[in-house]
Amino acid sequence: MAPVAPRSGDAIFANVERVNAELFTLTYGAIVRQLLTDLEEVEEVNKQLDEMGYNIGVRLIDEFLAKSNVSRCVDFKETAEVIAKVGFKMFLGITATVTNWDADGTSCSLVLEDNPLVDFVELPDTCQGLYYCNILSGVIRGGLEMVSMKTEVTWLRDMLRGDDAYELQVKLLKQVPEEYPYKDDE
Amino acid sequence: MGREVAESCIDSLLTEMVSSYCNHFYANKPELAARRIEAIGYQVGHQLSERYTMERPRFSDHLEAIKFICKDFWSELFKKQIDNLKTNHRGTFVLQDNRFRWLSRMSPEPSLENVDSQDPSENKAAQATSMHLYFPCGIIRGALSNLGIPCAVSADISNLPACEYI
């Protein structure tokens, strides 16, 4: 059986069930607002968003792999490209660009010009220090961990804080090879 | 209506939200978790109805507002309208959706009427489902209160995936 070619992000996005982005944006906004009320500390909220993102990423990767038919990525560079072009596209309808590779190819930046999470959002002065989109960093971290890559994801630029784009730094910490659950007795 | 995102995004977000509030924040206090989830829904409903009624004139009476919720509002959110609307003409409306999207992936419970069930796992599953429903109840309540109709909304799921809002 011939292997199925990986589909482009646009093609997948056109085929998945889609919903009104406003519902998504407003729901996310309401969740962040409620978390701020309940947790009060901005750092706690950041952490919680990252946790939630991680849990989502761990499950989302299955859907991603199933729908996109990408084969195993050869290296981290390819992984980053796939996340930027296919991953973001098929879920959020946006594409990111990959830049700022470091010398050994273990760290790069994903730059987003457009972000549906933040439509109509403004951060009040009381929320300095809040990484509003922190759920995204958790999602990437969770998804990559499920494909055996331990990463650290941090925000370098955030439009809600006055920068001109959203920039996420993804650093590969460790590539954990897949272990078979069965030990060889021999 | 403009931009779209994949449905799995909102599904995952909602599932994660309910799970965080139920298991993480208010692990043993389901009523508090429920209230928070409903509050989040209220916010969303309030803002959405604001946006969707910007160009319209005010609704003449409660029935018009409820019909708006059943048709336009529900279509915007779930791409379909409410299937059935009943009223007792004394302030109670029942909105029935026979294939509620957010529940369509939850397995039907064998018997929800049996509240004396000794089996804890069955209760937990039913409880998780009802937790999820606080969110759409909140949305409806938020939307209606923005239209000037204070109300209480509860959900009934005796036949999944159908869902009734009262």
- Condensed to tens digits (0 to 9), the pLDDT of residues A80-122 reads 888 888 888 888 888 888 888 888 888 888 888 888 888 888 8
- Asked whether the beta carbons of residue A22 and residue B17 sit closer than 8 angstroms, the reply is no
B6, A20: Cβ pair inside 8 Å? Answer: no
**Burial environment of residue B94 by CB neighbours within 10 A (0 to 12, 13 to 18, 19 or more):** middle
**pLDDT tens for each residue of A19-77:** 888 888 888 888 888 888 888 888 888 998 999 999 999 888 888 888 888 877 778 88
Q: Extract the tokens encoding A114.
A: 């457009």
Q: Supply A125's token pair.
A: 């002065």
CA distances from residue B5 to A134, A165, B36 in whole angstroms, order as listed: 18, 20, 25
Q: B114 CA to chain A: closest CA distance, Å?
A: 33
Of B9, B14, B25, the CB nearest to A38: B25
Amino acid sitting at position A33 = R
Give the gap in angstroms from C-alpha B16 to the nearest C-alpha of chain A.
6
Q: Shortest CB distance from B5 goes to which of A21, A52, A135?
A: A21
pLDDT band at B112 (very low <50, low <70, confident <90, very high): very low
Of B4, B25, B40, which has the smallest distance from its Cβ to A20's Cβ? B4
Cis peptide before A3 (omega within 30 of 0): no
Cβ(B43)–Cβ(B140) below 8 Å: no
Pairing type for strands A107-112 and A97-99 reads: antiparallel
Q: What is the mean pLDDT of residues B96-112?
A: 61
Angle at B49 between CA B16 and CA A93, to 5 degrees: 50
Token pair of B107 as six digits: 């397995």
Q: How far is A184 from chain B (nearest CA, A)?
A: 38
Count chain A–chain B contacts defined by CB atoms under 8 A.
Answer: 102
β-bridge pairing B93-97 and A107-112: unpaired
Contact status, residue B142 vs residue B41, Cβ threshold 8 Å: yes
pLDDT at residue B69 tops 70 = yes
The reply to whether residue A18 touches residue B41, judged by beta carbons under 8 angstroms, is no
Q: Do A23 and B10 touch (CB under 8 A)?
A: yes
Separation in Å, CA of B76 to nearest CA in chain A: 7
Closest listed residue to residue B163, CA positions, set B144, B139, B138, B137: B137
Task: Give me the pLDDT at residue A2, please.
Answer: 45
Of A30, A63, A135, the CB nearest to B40: A30
Beta carbons of A102 and A108 less than 8 angstroms apart: yes
Contact between chains at A20 and B76 (C-beta distance less than 8 A):
yes
Lowest mean pLDDT, pick from A31-35, A158-162, B79-83: B79-83
Residue A4 token pair: 């199925």
Mean of the per-residue pLDDT values for chain A? Answer: 83
Residue-averaged pLDDT of chain B: 74
Q: What percent of chain B has pLDDT over 90?
A: 0
Q: What is the C-alpha to C-alpha distance for residues B82 and B79, in angstroms, rounded to an integer?
A: 10
The pLDDT score that the predictor gives to residue B124 is 60
Rama region for B119: left / alpha / beta (φ>0; ψ in -120 to 50; rest) = beta
Element at A82 (helix H, strand E):
helix A76-82
CB atoms under 10 Å from CB of B2, counted, come to: 7
CB pair distance less than 8 Å for A29 and B41 = no
CB A108 within 8 A of CB A96: no
| Confidence (pLDDT) at A16 | 79
Q: Is the dihedral of CA B100, B103, B106, B108 positive or negative?
A: negative
Counting residues of chain A whose pLDDT is more than 90, the rounded percentage is 2
Question: B121 or A153: whose pLDDT is higher?
Answer: A153
Tell me the pLDDT band of B120, cut-offs 50, 70 and 90: very low
A142/B8: higher pLDDT: A142
User: Is the per-residue pLDDT at B121 higher than 60?
Assistant: no
pLDDT at site A54:
92
Highest mean pLDDT (candidates A15-29, A134-148, B67-81, B85-99): A134-148
Tokens describing residue B19: 């799970």
What distance in Å separates residue A103's CA from the closest CA in chain B?
34
Comparing CB atoms, the residue among A24, A26, A31 nearest residue B9 is A24
Which positions in chain A touch B1 (Cβ < 8 Å)?
20, 22
Integer Cα distance of A85 and A70 in angstroms: 12
Please name the residues in contact with A136: beta carbons below 8 A apart, sequence gap of 6 or more.
Answer: A53, A117, A168
Highest mean pLDDT among B8-17, B95-104, B144-153: B8-17
3-state secondary structure (DSSP) of residue A116: helix
Q: Tell which wins on pLDDT, B159 or B63.
A: B63
Name which of B166, B142, B153 is nearest B40 in CA terms: B142
Mean pLDDT for B123-139 is 75
Task: State the maximum Cα–Cα separation within chain A, in Å, rounded to a whole number.
Answer: 64
pLDDT attached to residue B79: 80
Residues of chain A with C-beta less than 8 angstroms from the C-beta of B13: 24, 27-28, 31, 56, 135
- In the predicted model, is pLDDT for residue B98 greater than 80? no
